[in-house]
Every structure is written in C-alpha cells, then in structure tokens.
Structure 1
Amino acid sequence: MRRRNEPRRGKGARGLLALLPFLLSLALALTPAGTVIRNQAVALVAGERYLSNPVETVVQAVCRPLLFPDGTPTTPGLSLSAPPGGYAYLPYRLKNGGNAPFTFALSYALHGTPPWTPGWVRFYLDLNGNASLDPGEPEVGEVALGAGEERALILALSLPPTASGDLLITPVALCPSGERDDANYARVRAGGPPEPALYLSKAASPGRILPGERATFTLVLRNLGSGEAAGPLYLTDLLGGLEGLAYVPGSAHAPKGQVEFYDGATWHTAEPGTVLGLRLVLPRLLPGEEALLAFQVEARPGAAPGARANRARAEGPGGPAEAEAALEVLPLYLHHLGPYGNPKALPGGEMSGDDLQRGRALEGEPYCFRHTLLNEGTGMDAYRLLLEPTPASYRLETLLGTPLPDPLALGPGERLDFQLCLLAPPGTHAFTLTARSLATGQENRTQDLLEVAPKGALALRKEASPAPGTTLRAGDEVVYTLVVENALGPLSGVHIEDALPPWVEFLEAPGGTYDPGRHRVLFALDTLPTGTARFTLRVRVRPDAPDDVLLQNRFTLVSHETPEPLVSNEVAHPVLSVNLALEKRVSPGEMAVGGVLTYTLKVTNPASVPLEVRLTDTPNPRLRYLEGSARGGPCGGALSPMEPVLEGGTLRWTFPLGPKASLCLEYRMRVLPGGGETLENVAQAQGLGAQGGATAKVQARALARVRLGPLDLEGGVLLGRVYLDVNRNGRYDPGEDIPLPGARLVLANGWQTLTDREGRYAFRGLEPGVWQVMLDPASAPFPPRPHPEALGEGYRHGVRVQGLTVSDFPLEAPRGFAEAYRETALRFGPLTVEKRLFPLEKGYRVVLVLRSAEPLTELTVRDPLPGGEEKVFAFPRFEGEEVLEYALEEPFMSDPQVRWRYP
C-alpha cells in the first residue's frame, strides 16, 4: 500500500538527528541516506533509567516516486471530456517520497484496448501550479527532485479527429532503480456533451511551525471540464490528522460561496465556539472557474513534533476530488536543572537562593547532592552535564547508584532524578552543575556548596563475636558492637540504624529499639558528644537458616549535620550446619608384594546447597599410585577419569558436589616391598560453600594386609596376561574373557617371551626400576584397551618393577557382523525399489528402500509374503526417499509390486 504525502524532515529534525544519534524511533524511509542511527533500549527499574549498549545502523538510499491524484481503471482520479481533434490537459503532482535526491523518468500507459490512440502525449512543468498549461511552461521527460520535494505537472495529449469513446491513461514515474508509480488513471472522453471535471489542490504555508505558531491552509477548487458544474458544490475539510493543532477563530476566508462550520454535530453558517470542520458551499462553477477557501491553524504549546497530513474533499457534478497537504510541527526545546524535586528552582528561579544546596561531609567520604533535570520541551533531547570547577573525584549517577549515560536522553515532559557525588579535600567548595542541550546548545545551571571536615573526624566501626568469617551453625549466638568515634564535634538528631541479616532472630539491644517489621535496630540520640561511643546488640542464627547463606551486617549513621548516611565496615559470617559423609574401602583385603589394590571412596553431601569438596588421601609409603587409574562420578553410574594432584606422598582432589548428592572415587595402588604385613592409608574431606562456609573435616581409614612370599626376596619379576577383554571392564574374568596364547612380548633390553595357553607371560631377575614391555602387534592383531600404564597406542607399557609386578594387556574382542542374506533392486519409471533380507538371531528382517526423483500420486507398494499374503504400504503423495522394514520368521524373498496414478 502506498503512502501519500509522507512528511519530510526539516532542518530542525535533521539537526536533532545529527546531535542525538541515539533517538529510539526513526522512520528509516524518511531519514536522509547515509545517516548513522544509534539505537539503545531503555528500561525503567524503580523509577530509574537504564540504557543498553548502542547498536548502529546506516540508513541506505530509498527511492519512492509518488504521483497523485491516485486513480484506477474503475475509479479514475481525474475525468474530463475533449472534442475530437482537440487537446486534453490533466494536472498531476509528483513527489520524491524517498530519502535522497533522485531523477524520475516520465512516461504513460493506456489501459486495456483503447478505443482511440492519442496523436501525442507530453509532460509539462506547471510552474504556477494553476492546473492549466500556460505559455512558457517547459516540456519535460524527467524531473529531478530532492528528498521530500514535489512539483506540479501537466499531462497533455491530442485527440485524433476520429476519436470516440473513453480513453483510460495513467502517467508513470520511474526511479533509476526500477521502482515506479503507475496507478494514477484518468478518463478522457472524446466527443459527447460538455461535462464538468473538478480538480482540488491544497497547500500549507509555512510547511513547518513551532508550538504556538500558526500556518495557513489554502484550498483551490477548479472546474477543468468543458461543462458547467451546477451546484450545490461542497468543498469540505474536517480538520482530520491535525493532532495537537486547533483552528484559529475568525481565520476562515472565501472570496465566493458560503463558508459553513461544523461543531461535531451540525453545520452552521455562523462560526460556533468550537470548530471541528469547515466547508465552502458553491452554487455553481463554470468551465475554467476556480474557488478558494483559506483558514489558519495554531500548534498548541504541548504539540508533539512530527508531520501531520490534512485531506479535503470536493463533491458535486464533476467530482469527487480530493487533495492533501502536509504540515510539520517542529520540536520545541526547553529544559531546567535544579535541586531535587524543584528543577525550576522556584520561587526564585535560575541561580537564585532556591537554586543553591548546602552539604557537609568528611574527608575521604563522598557527599551526594540530589538534583532533578526536566525536559519541558516537546521533542526528544539529550544533555551533557558539566561540573565547574572539577574536583579530584566525582560521580554522576542515579539514585540507585548506577552511572548516568553520557549524553543523557530525555523524552518530552520527562524528568530524571539523579545525584552528584563529590569527593573533595577539607575546606569549603562551591560547584556549578550545568545541563547543556545537544539540540540547541542552551544551558541551565544549579549550585552546590560543600563543607568538608578533616579525615577521621567521624568514623564508624563494626565488630562481631565470634570473629567475622567464622562458620556458624543454626542456634549460634552473635554479639554485634557498633563503635562511633566522633572528633567532628557534637552532633544533633543522630540516628544509628542496624539492618539485621534476614536469617537471625533479635535477642536484645540495650538502649536501642527493635522494629520487627523492618527487622532493624535503631539507636536514636538527641545529641552525640565528642569521643567514642559503643552500642551492642545480640542475635541468634535461626533454626531454619539455610546452608551456605552469608550473614552480612553493617550499620549507618545520619545526623542534622551529616544528612548523607555514613556507612560502617561490613562483618560477615557464613552458615553451614552439616558435615560431609566419607566412606573408604579396599579390595582385595590381602595382596602380595607387586600386586595392585583398588581403593574406593564415597563422599556424600547431606546439605541442600552445592559444595566444593577438597579430598586428600595419604597412603602408606609402601603404596604407589598407578597413574591414570583414578575414575570418579555419581555412585551407581558410569565413572570418568579423575586424576589427583600429587603433592609428595599425598593425593588431592577438588570437585563440586551437588546438594544431597554422592560421588564415588576409585583408584589403584601397587604394593611395594619392605615393611610389615599391614598397610593403612587415611582419607580426609572438607566441604566449602559458595559463601565461604566450611564443614568440619571428616576422616576415613582403610586397612589391607600384605601377603609375603619367597619372590619378595628375589630380584624383580614382571608378569601378566594377554587376553581379549570381552566384557570390556579392564580386568581378566575367567569364563568370560579369552586368553591369547602365542603372543610375543619384548623388553627394552631385548628379552622376549611368548604367552602360554592361558595367555600368561613372565620376565624374572629384573633390576628394580622402570621397564618398558611391548606386545608385538603382529602376534596379537587386536586393538589394545585403555590401561593405566599404556604408552602411545597402548602396545607398550611403562612399568615400575619392584619385587613381583603385574602388567596385563587387555585387548578389544572382535565384534560380530551382519550381512544381507539376499537382495534385489527393481526400477519402475522414476521409482527405484531396493529389497534386502537380513538374518537375525531369531528370524529375519526385510528392508525396502524407495526412491523417486519426481512426485508420485497414490503410490501403493505390495510385497508378497509366504502363504499368499502380502505386505501393503500406501502413500497419498510420495517424493524423495523412504525406508520400510518388517520381520519374517522364515527366509522368503519375492519381488515387490508398485502402482501409482498420474494426474
């Protein structure tokens, strides 16, 4: 749908766009090409404004031709008659509805099969806009227009002497990029009796006004036909589309005819108190005659900026005719900056005593003056806040403490409460805060006077027993001490307030008052003398306090001399009332030297919050951890690699553990020679909450016995087994796993051996230390399974030999495979059917694959079964590929049958 007479942006709007690149609502089709638009989202939280990060958009050139009046073959916009052999002149207006200058080519089009063909068709510029072709007005084939510019045109055509009937013709305006406007049909009747043709034009002067200014609308009704337009004729303007504007009483003017006024219910010849519309009533309009109606409108003080489109309509013989004029209300810029809640600084006004605020602060403590900025204009504006002189440190922020954006954007009528927080050396300081408009450069100021006392003149300190950081449990008591050191001088109207943590219950506060609604303790003093004052209060951790909550507490002080709250240091206590559960087991309970023990730890978090668990295991010196053997995860689930950090002889793990969750950890230790017959190692765990709370350390012990044998007194012995790990558990299980005889194993010193019928090998008399043993892949052509001592691809193991040492080689067991018992492929025109029969452990599986490169309608596939039955698959419409399956008890192969219907 085309939009007629779209408003254009004036210089004020373009200037605002350049100065306010972050305006949030811009019509891209009307914004000048090349303009960079920065967009930011705005959120209001508790009355404060927050802006997102900016996103930039570059406006591209958009071409849009707009010809009017509109018209279609069934409802022509213009209609007139001309004699055969004569001429017809059709008035049009062409507007550049794009956002950049363009040159529009002009042409025309005839509708359907015309009853006659014009001798020629030409376009002329209507320089004086009187809808008539006057001497000296030039012929054109194209028109160059700036963005939003429009020109009046005359479409002239000649009628051949033999012309008869109605010709439908439309002018065509074409963009260089191909966009066109070709729906503006007019009817030209050759011959016949004379008939009227009404044409209405409308203009606004000036085209842009500020709130409080006026503009004049001028409507001109012309009879362009060859016959008289016998009355009554009505030229009506109901003042539509003029939001924020009002008719100026007594401004209506018409040289001929009768002006009438509409009050919303009735038309009057005398102007009523409220005018909602006007019309000009004419008794007649002769050929070539015109009538004029003019009136004024005024933009109200709060009229929103933007374009308005006003349309008028003429009715009567030769009509109807419509015309539209655009009027833009420019934004009005006005702003005020003053004390909080009084931006205009009333009653004194700008830079008066009502525009001055006083404050008192301590050295090193910021003092915040509250201010209000008001945009009293009608358009979006942005402001820079400037402070003179500039202190060593200052902040401009919302009342919630978030930084203000720079520049600061406010909509029409919008106000912002903010604060200026200053940090200055001791002394008296006068500051001037200025808000400068980016749209106009206008400034508005306010003053702040700050007296700064020496550092330490007034200090607050919060103490607690037990000491801050101590982990508390439900039911524990805490004593808070509020210390005020005042060297500033006597203070009056002192309020010391302590907001208690939510998970404690109040017990007592000598000299203070407890407010259960706000859960706060207040110490109110008429006067606080110079010196040190102490106030105490006692609380208890509630029984329902959740685990891992942090009890944070501080207090504030305000007085008549220091209205800005002073805040003490914060003390904090984490709460954690539960202990971890730790279990430890060893398997087997007895092992020979060189053997491997498997240790299992189970850690349980009984808390309702996640914990970071720090687990340590200190094994007996005769136990050596097998690197890569540690695996952990949820108890009862799959375990994943979970290597510890080795620190001396201690194994350390750190991992998160969810609420009410357990983790199982499994790792292996090799028994080294030496020492007695018992091995004990101790595991210890502690949980840490996110808030710093710590559980008590818990311990678990595991005891294993060492079975000593004669080999313990000999040199090192390396033995093991090569087997197919059928159940893939990494251990040799007789009856399930398959030993591999005849496999060749080689040591780094060149010694070799073959495995026996049970897959076993052994190397004896080895010096203690690290040895590499390799399984010859040619003698065992199966991929190795993961192993803690594996090197490279896994055919080599790095083994520390000490006494009797075991290193097995688990290998991947070969998997079964499936192959087609029978298969066939059939082709029917565009359809291909592949059929395969696969044997299973019980029965057989039939697989049909259907492919078609074109759509098939009502496709039916029938596959015969044993006993004369058949499997039927039906598709209302089939295209592409489909896989079908079904089961058989006995092998049976047949050829499927297919049918489909061509449209």
Structure 2
Amino acid sequence: MTPAGTVIRNQATALVGNERYLSNVVETVVRPLCLPSLTPNGTPTTPGQEAGISPGGYAYLPYVLTNAGNDAFTFSLSLVPDPHDWDPAEMAIFPDQNADGLPDNSTPLTQATLAMGEILRLVVGIRAPASATGSLLLTPVARCPNGQEDAENYARITVTTGPALSVEKQMPPSALPGEEIPVLLRVRNLGTAPAHTVTLLDQPLPLPFVLGSAQAPKGRLEYYDGTTWQQTEPQVVKGVRLVLDRLLVGEEATLTFRLKVPPGTPPGQVENLARAEGPGGPAEGRAALEILPIYQHHLGPLGNPRALPSGEGSTNDRQEAQGLAGQPLCFAHTLENAGTVQDAYDLHVEGLPEGLGYWFTGMDRSPLTPPLVLGPGEQMDFRVCYLPQEAGTFQARVVALSQATGARNTTVDLLNLLPANALGLVKEADPAPGTTLKPGDVITYTLRIQNAFASLSQVAVEDALSPHVEFVSASHGGVYEAQAHKVVWTFASLPQGETLLILKVRVRANTPDDSLVANTFLLRSQETPNPLTSNPVTHPVFSVNLLLRKEVSPKEAVVGDLLTYRLTLENPSSASLTIRITDTPPPGTRYEPGTALFFPECQGGGEALEPRRENRSLVWENLSLSGKGKLCLTYKLRLLPGAPKELVNTAQALGVSGNGAATASGKAQALALLKPGPFALGGMLLGRVFLDMDGDGTFGPQDLPLPGARILLSNGVQALTDSAGRYAFRDLEGLHQVMLDPASAPFPPLPMPENLGEGYRKRAVVQGLTVVDFPLRPPRGSVQVFRNTTLRLGPFSVEKRIVQVGDRLFVELRLKSPEPLPELTLTDPLPDGGAKTFSFAEFKGEEVLVYELEKAVLTDPEVRWRYP
C-alpha cells in the first residue's frame, strides 16, 4: 500500500558506444485509496459476537477500527439494527482506549480520523427497554468520505431474565509469523441474578498455545489435550478454559494466555471464537487476527543460499573461479524465498567493468529471463555467466531484488581471468606453409596445444580437412569421420603444458591446379565452451612445371656484334599465372637498352618491355600468362672486348598463381661462340696424348693417338683429347702446370726432362704457341681403327668408330652436346640385326660408350630427344 502522494519517476537510458543518452522523465502520482476495516466481522447468520441482556439492562460489544487505506481519512460511524425484535432504548459507539471492553467516557463517537495504518478500539453500548423480549441483530458501520464502507460486523444480543452472560475476546489486529500474541477473554454477568457454575472456554485454539502462559485472577484453569480436560497442563494444549463457581451480578472474570504464529504461516485472517456457558448463556465473543506476510529471500552459492555457517556477506557468501579471456565463466547460485508468500525477484550484477557482459541461465544452460517467481519456501538454482574480453581480477556482486518490497540480497563472484593466449593453438605443417605441392604429396600437420591456463575436461579437438586431401593417419587415437571429412580427438582431461598431435594427409590425385589446401583445428572443452581456433596453414597445389626454351642468333659473333635472344615460355596448366623471368647475360656482354620486346601468346609485333637490373641479371616481372597459353620475349646483348670464347646465357621463369602456387621452369641456356678477330692475341698450349710405339718421345706414323684423355690445368680448366689425341688451351700466358688424368689414360708415361713426379704432370711456359705432349708406353698388343662415322643433329653430335685391340673388335661411341637434351635415346643397329640402345633422362656434355662387336661392319646410329 504505497502512501498517497508518492511520485513514481521513470527514465530510460541508452548507451551508444561511450555516449549515454537519457529519455524524457515520466512521473506517476499515487492517488488516495480509502479502505475501512472494522472487526470482528460477522453476518446475520453467523454473528461475530453474541451477548445476553436483561430487560432494561446494558450490553457492551468491543470492536477494532483500522485505517487500511494509504492516507489519513475521517470515517463516519453508525449503528444499524436489522433485523430486531425490539428497539434499543440507547445505542451508541464509544472509544475504548484502555481495551477493557467498557466505554472510556459517556460521549459517543460519530466519526474518527485515523492516519494510514492506525487502529482505534471501540465499544458498542446498548440498553434494552424494560419490556424487551427476543433478540436484536446489530452491526456497526464505518464509512469513507467517498462512500466505501465496512458493514459486515453483525452481533446478536438476546434478552434474558436472571443472569445474562457477555463475552469479550481481544487479540492484536495483526501479527507476523514467529510472533507470540496475547489473548484476553472477559466474561461479565450483565443480568439481574447471580450465575452459578460458569465456564469460559477457548477451544479449539486457532494457533499453537504457548506453554505456561495461561493466567486467571479467579476461577480454575483447565486444559484440553484433544481428548479430555485436565487441570495439569499437557505437552500439547488444544484448548483452555476458566471454570467459575459463581459470577455475581455485574461481576467479571478474565483469562489471558499467549498463542504463537508458526514460522512460515501464510498470510491470511485467523478467527477465534470464545464461549461462555452457564446460566445466562451461552454467550460468544469473536476476534480476528490478520497474519501479515513475511517477505524474505536469500541468495548464495549453489546449495547454500543462506551462506551458512557465517551468513550474509561472509566468505561463505563468496565464490572464486579462474577463467580465460574470451571464454564464458559461469557461477552457480541458489535463490531461496524464505518468506511466507509468493514473490518475484529481479536479478542483476553490479561492480563489473564496462564492456564485461553477463547473462543468466538455468542449470541445464537454457536461457533464464528474470524476474524469477518463487512460492514460499521454494528454491531455484541458476547460473550467472560472464564473458570477459580482457585479463584481470574482477569482483561481481549478484543481486536478487524483491519486487514486493524492494529488499536486496547479494552474493559475490570473484573472477580471476587469464589472457586468451594462456591457452594457445598453433598449427604447423611439413612442408612449410606456402610451399607449392603436387598431387600425391603428403602433408604432416602438427597440432600444438599450449596450455598455461588450467587442466581441461571433456576436451574435443577437431581438424576439418580440406576437400583436396585424403586422410592418412593421426596420432593419439584421432578418429577420421569420413562423412564430415574431419579428424576428431577426445580426451577426458588435458593437463597443463604442451600437447602435440600429429596428422598426416595426402593431396588427392585429381586436385586441380591452383587449388588451395587450407587447414585449421579447433578445441572446445567444458572450461572453454566457445571453440578456440588455431592459425590457418595453407598450401597451394600445382602439378606441372613451366616450359622455357631459349634461342640465340647468330650462333657466332665478333666483338661489337648484337646477339638476339628469344625466350619462349609455355604454361601446360589451365590456371593463369603471374610470371617473373630472370635472365643472366654471359660475361663480356651488355644489354642494349630499348631492345626488349614482349609478345603475348608469341604473336603480333611485340610490346616494348624494359627489364629491371638486379645485380648482373635482367628481370621481367608481373607478366600475365593464361592457362595453356605461352609468351615470348626477345632482347639484344652487345658483345664487348674480353668476352669468353663460349657465351652461355641462362634464363629461368617463375610463375605464381592467384592462390599463391609457385611453379618454375628448368634453366634454359643458349650458346654462342666468339669468333676471334684478325688481330686477336693470346698464347696457346696444345699437345698430343699418344702411345709411343717406337719409344722416341715424339709422335710419328707408327704411334697411336689416345682420344678421350682428360687434360687439366692448375686453375681447374680441363679438356678432352680428340680422335687424333690432340688437346688445346687458348688465351694462356706465363707459367702453367698441365696434368694428364691417369684414370683417363691408364698407360705409364715415358720419362721426359719436363716431367714432374711420375710424369703425369709437366711444367710449361706459354709464349705464343707452346706444345706439351704426353708420350705413353704402349701396352702389349695393338689397336687398329677400321672405320668411323660422325652424326650431327642440332647441338648434338655422335662419332662412331670400330677399333681392333688384339683379336677383339670394339665399337666406340663418342656423344657430345653443349645444351641439355631431355629424354635422349641413342639406338645403334648391330650387323646381324637388333640394336644397342642407350637412354638418358637428360644429356649434356660428353660421354664415351664402348661395346664389343662380332664383325667389323659399320652401321649408322640413330638419336632422338624431346624438346621442352
């Protein structure tokens, strides 16, 4: 009952970012509400009081008036006799401040002004005429200024001759559960003759009796245990009475005792009827007790809402837990309605830093929306969940607010929050992330769980595989779920520290070029319901290499000439690429500015495209090459003085796809030769390796040249002797050491004056043309060359000859190519059918092949290779 005139104000607040916005203020004024309450209540059929009256005598009926409204009001008081057998000679309402059941004075009351909640004791006085017979029903009426009234308060007065008993019963108008209330019973003889053997009793009692509380100045006390009346007070008193041997005219007797409202008694009205039996009776007196509601609630940790044993605000009313930033941290609580009526409770949390959110859930984690409605004695378990974004220590005060009274009860949650990186997931891969893979390649993933947070329970680790890979194996019992195409690890618990899980997958054979194999893994546990995700690792897939071909024109040039180089690059894949071409010009050359031309799809007149200089290399970047497409690039180098005799130019291309796949070409070379000019100067060291058949130390008609012998200079430059056993080193000058490799010429040298050591090394001063021969002791027997032939095709040449050593015939094949030739196959037909076949994955340089032959028949060999 909110007091009249109270102003209820309401205003809404909105937070947008860091700005706070307020709505307009709405005000509500509580209006006065007048409610009179007059007790005891009674109806015509069930009067609240009964009294006897003698003709011409008086009867007194006690009442209590309460202002049950929300403001001070003036109540008008009146009496309504209806129905009645006789008209009262006098009838009025008097104050009874001393609560003795008799008027305080002779001035009747017609109105009473009471403050909110104030009570006023009244007594109704009635005098019967001398000729009165029968009974009278009478009700006092209390009326508000607006007409609201309480008129159901009937009492019955019966005219008797001789003794006339009157009973009054008094109790407080209201009480709370747990309180003791005093009860007063008063019996009077208002008749014209004494009443003998009068009993004043209260049975059954509406509330538990307080043992030892019954008192009576006169008469004999007796107690009822539910079966019999006895003078000794039993352990359980169901009724109490006062037995009087005699009650004289005008005499009164009283009985007082106490009753207790049991804790938890629901609110409501308790009526109690007292009765007087004997001559002049029976007479009844009724009183009503309003049991007030108790609003009380407790909020505390789960299962301990009262925070026992220490209670509210103690350490028993506090919970502490460790959490992780970015993960919800939940505390379980119990709310108890310790009152006697149903109440609704609003929940909120105080003391949190700005931005730290919270919500309420049931114990089954379902959303819970306050207010919580609880009946008397009912409890509810719930959880408060917080979602911290930063590390730190925070104290949250959880508040339960009664909607009925506004009373608060609180409990404290202490959050100790570690940074999010206290539990980290790191994904590693071998090959390293970013490495371009080919179908069939195996990737080994390492799932690294770094836990400095806490021991985790009910842990699930999931690794969703890329559609471009197939599962191979997993450590620690990881299970591959084919339908979801993922690997799952489950652990009942995972301790602090580092845990490593290994997962192997294979790139599928049908993976398209420029596909991206991406992979992460996640972890969830009871402590981290929000899944944690690792860093991603990605691998592009590309199955083919670029095809690069390089050509130079002219093949021979002199100092000052321009060499034109042409690069042709093809993309066997269907994925588009961004190309970088790196070309390293040979020493002694210089790029001629403005000569570089770019030909998309190797067509058209070409677009000018200058290279970028990077050390000695020329670099063309960001060239677009479509799937299955090709491009061409031409440029020119000028030949400078001092250039080497052989001009080897190397180029390589690197392509990067849209997804970062990298594919490269093999190194492509182009060979050009420097023709010496007519005035070129330089020393030359030459000589011959031969079997000295006559032992004179010089080459003669009978001597045999030794082809394929390896001659080396001290600076590492080497040469092989030709079919005539000759070798040559150009552009030399000064003192040099020249050596014959014994492994290529397994014959002892003849002793000569210039020999060093065993004679495989010689010292020579090169001036102009200098000759150094290596005569060797011939083996026993002889070697004779019958026939020879030479095949040349592009950069490749093969020289075939048949030699006789003793009685045996041998075929010697000498292969030579300055450029790498992929998938080279040489087929040498045999005289009697069939052939000898020699295969090379890639051939470059020189090599000698020998096999034995039955007949001295010379056939022509065949050779083929694949251009890129």
- Normalised to the residue count of structure 1, the TM-score between the two structures is 0.43
- Normalised to the residue count of structure 2, the TM-score between the two structures is 0.44
Q: Which has the larger radius of gyration?
A: 2
